[in-house]
Chains A and B, each alone.
Chain A
């Protein structure tokens, strides 16, 4: 137990100090931390799922608060909560099914589950989703007065039914945790391999002699382009360097070593070059439910230029980047201002910065935001590991991965 706390605290500090960068790395570490947290969690006999959800939520809140801009943390926390709910649901479904079929077959059913646990979680979850959703809609409707009357426990409202049903299933005490951990493992696996799945689709999107523009650096984009290259497509890539972090340089270097024809341009030349570009392929920081994209700074400009020249603007995003929230004023609220030293030499301008002449407000501001918001109407296509999607479809895709009960995680701390 203490080492889990240490683990969480360590991660918290890293997040706060922005030691972990990149949504993918963050998502992976978050999932790992949550996994060890769940495995260490001691569960009561009754209402296991509810207890687990509450515990995970408590940790998740801290993690999100540590770096509210890194939406991947919240996404993974929500995913884990969703997994817990689904596992719980599948267990109860199995139990109900077992009960309804025959009391005697109960043991067989359990044995059957134990034989292939890794497969069971996903399969049963999917089955539960398909079989239980329609009735659950009904229960949801029936539950309306119930949840409305008790808004505080709305999050555990779903659990209450689980509690009542799982109460008689003492044998599933360990199974829930086990299944959840298996599912989280799968999630981690998904996060790690998401770019491979995205890259598989590359040949469908890149044709011979294409000219592709990208900005900044993204592992997914590199894999995507290289996958197309490996399939004997020859095309050219323009890389905007992505000041002030100049990640484009590393991207260009990587592409060159893999044998791609690469041209590095300044960010300011994006508009000049985009008229000769066939497609813009970029990575994202996060994808919002409305189809908007939180992306590295500068991409809004690129998207506008692409729209002007009717160039497709394609965003590659692993599922851990899908955020179930609808953004409000994301340019400001979901942004982060980085150090001015990336833009200006302090040594040179320190006298200017001190020029405030006692009025309190400095005469020189340096604005160095980290992210841009690309509205959905500028995005032509999202390519996720489940395939290509319209921006307008993202909300539905997201609904598959998250439970509606978890959308607001910070509610309790606020109330």
Chain B
């Protein structure tokens, strides 16, 4: 019915459904592999899959609301998110085939749908907001406060409890408010067993799907797009249909007041992949965007570093084996395999290469820079042109990049401070404090208008178009602020016909790696212990990836240990001086 593609055989659009749920062309009886989407992504009342027990479903309620389940809400969220991704250029299969199937699988495995409900567990229609007068004196039902204290939100909504408590006396027998049918159950469930959905987890789903399809979007980019508003996350519930009333505990589930953290989304994704018993993901090969060789190229460009460094990143990648298909491809359930953070890995490789070439001990790199400066002064323009670009001067690069970085960081800090978290859709715990909430909202809007007018000509800028590159440098600029074409010849030398670095030294970030299982990190990044240049470089990538520098530092340590614990290959000759 919804399927509009032309038949591969006869080019007609005349489809029917087989018993197995597959589309077949009525004209030529060609059966396709396409299966009908079992889950209709449009929300229609009561069109839920038949496996949920009938329970006490009522069609309409007095206020025009209807019964809805938490997972239906999340389904809507995912739909919105994947549509946004499509708008960004992601292939449409991701929505119709990949994510949809993942979601189905999840619902099945977590026994929220597509399965027989385990005996004895019925979904009680808990009293919804409106009927707050009938107090169910079930002593086992947890109190409002108890439920509010669960889950890791920063206690923001916990404080809204004051609204709730001001409305009703909170006691053991208070009925639990939620607009959804199973809001309270959802929060109560042991989260480890069934992996209940959370808002951050929606992003894990998205990332998982992206990874499956091998789209050129890294996790850090995805999260950045979320923060920049290109992917719905913060107030996505405002797109729920009118009939789905959101109140009470639903807020705890759907209203987030913090940005998702890389680690959290990343780890959840792996948990999810294992939970869904997914097979080995499609291979990440050298031609893939997520392969470190590709990502390094991108980050080198963005960091305004010479293209020549790419040779070195490839060499390091090859040397330590992080470019291998088996290493890079996700194998869910394989606990021993290291979970690969593609973006962090690429950034860390670049950091290691910089350390190899420039040492970055706050001394050597400036020395090299001075030498380069001398040479550049002496060379004529023609000479520079023929020898493949001017000598790369670390000092100049540092100044240019630092300046831009400071400007962007300042902008980012201001944006964060100006961020508006609330949306028009009012949130209230119960009908009783609805009027209070609405009044407050009205006042907020009034004040925003009043002071907005006094803000001068500064208007809230439109969402910038999503871009993959945050910093861009153009070779056309005559001011020499683009270093892509610069040459590393000043710091390289030929030995036995091979190109090696002149820098004879290297310092390891840490002599011994920590046990990740014990303290969660491979190493501990304390700013005081490392050279300023190292900080700077970490800071640069930390900004680009929007993650803590310590994550990159961990990865750098990991790479270094792989690099130097093996026997040194003849091609890369350097004396390793283990310095702290």
A and B: interacting chains: no
User: Which residues of B come within 8 Å of A, CB atoms?
Assistant: none
